[in-house]
A and B are shown apart, each in its own frame.
Chain A
């Protein structure tokens, strides 16, 4: 049996147990702190390139021109960085073919709403993003429902991202997919006071 170094035999069992307990606390705190303190989130990376409450059509991902790491490359994207702290947000998009999705994310990357193409009868989608119930209590007002046919999506945070993803079947479909994506929009709409 290998002999332990002399200095190691000096470490007491109380030290080991205390270190394990403190290590556990550090482990938990570090894990919980990453989403709060993390500065390299997808939202932070896109913040400078996306103006608030405006849908932006992004060029096809290419080496050195990827909006985010590990993002599916054979797809076109339209993204909107929203802020519903003052106004609500009206989102219009067409989700034309299987694989297409419309998704909404918090700044931490949580996907709180997603609509894939195959669940729809009509590809056109109109949604209104409003602050979630806990946020609304700060206003003491009900957000305006724009029309009876629109769905309201409560956002757990004031800020976030709307992403429309259009996978490409091939280059021949690129113009069609791009034309559909360019018609997607997100605009601020006044809340009733």
Chain B
């Protein structure tokens, strides 16, 4: 019957309208707030930073990202916080694997490298070690520092991953000149690659 066909057509269009409008609107908003885009973030290999984090004139996505994740960032004109969820080959950071991160000097700037689980919680470990900073890391004779991320003890700068499954690394660099270069899109010194050594 033509009437039934018409009703079915209206229903299909209503459902499609609702799914596209609500699903699309909320879904894209969630993606832009949680993952970010080129509008609000800048990526260097596996490291991503929200370029306007902490600034009172930040874009709405950055502000929403800060609020939703209960963050308290310093203004990105002074300090940049990078987060990595994957290694340099794109594999998800996982406690079952061992990683090596070679920290070059940031021209004397203060930096910190910390490991968290995917929710931003510190990872329980017997060594009670959660981060290395430019002050606490042991350096090689050439000034570089090799930080090893592994479940079991390693010589040198060992950052334990404990029993966490997925890992997030957070690199904080406090250097206004460096932050300005990143914000303005100028070329900057490469961030340390995260090399997967072995997986068990």
Contacts and interface: CB of A to CB of B under 8 A. Distances in A.
Q: Which one of A15, A23, A25, A103 has the greatest number of beta carbons of chain B within 10 Å? A: A23
Interface string B49-75: 000001110101101101111111111
A163 interface: yes
Contacts of A183: none
A31 interface: yes
A142 interface: no
A169 to B, nearest CB: 4
Contacts of A114: 74-75, 78
Given A25-B25, A31-B29, A42 B70 contact: yes
Nearest to B59: A31
Given A23-B28, A40-B70, A103-B74, A70 B110 contact: no
Interface in A40-69: 40-42, 44-45, 61-64, 66, 68-69
Interface in A115-131: 116
Contact of B174 (A16, A30, A74, A116): A116
Nearest to A44: B70
Given A74-B112, A109-B72, A168-B136, A62 B122 contact: yes
Interface stretch (A6-14, A87-95, A145-153): A6-14
B105 interface: no
Contact of A73 (B12, B83, B122): B122
Contacts, number: 194
A110 B114 contact: no
B25 A161 contact: no
A109 B73 contact: yes
Given A10-B13, A23-B20, A26-B25, A69 B71 contact: yes
Contact of A15 (B16, B67, B116, B130): B16
Contacts of A74: 112, 114, 130-133, 136
B135 A15 contact: no
Contact of B17 (A15, A45, A98): A15
Contacts of A98: 110
Given A31-B60, A74-B133, A109-B67, A11 B112 contact: no
29 contacts: A11-B13, A15-B17, A15-B20, A19-B17, A19-B21, A27-B26, A27-B28, A31-B33, A32-B60, A34-B33, A40-B68, A40-B70, A64-B121, A69-B116, A70-B170, A99-B135, A103-B74, A103-B75, A105-B54, A108-B63, A109-B54, A109-B73, A110-B66, A111-B72, A116-B78, A163-B72, A167-B110, A168-B133, A170-B136
Given A11-B13, A31-B29, A109-B63, 9 more contacts: A10-B12, A25-B25, A26-B22, A34-B67, A44-B70, A63-B124, A70-B83, A72-B131, A99-B134
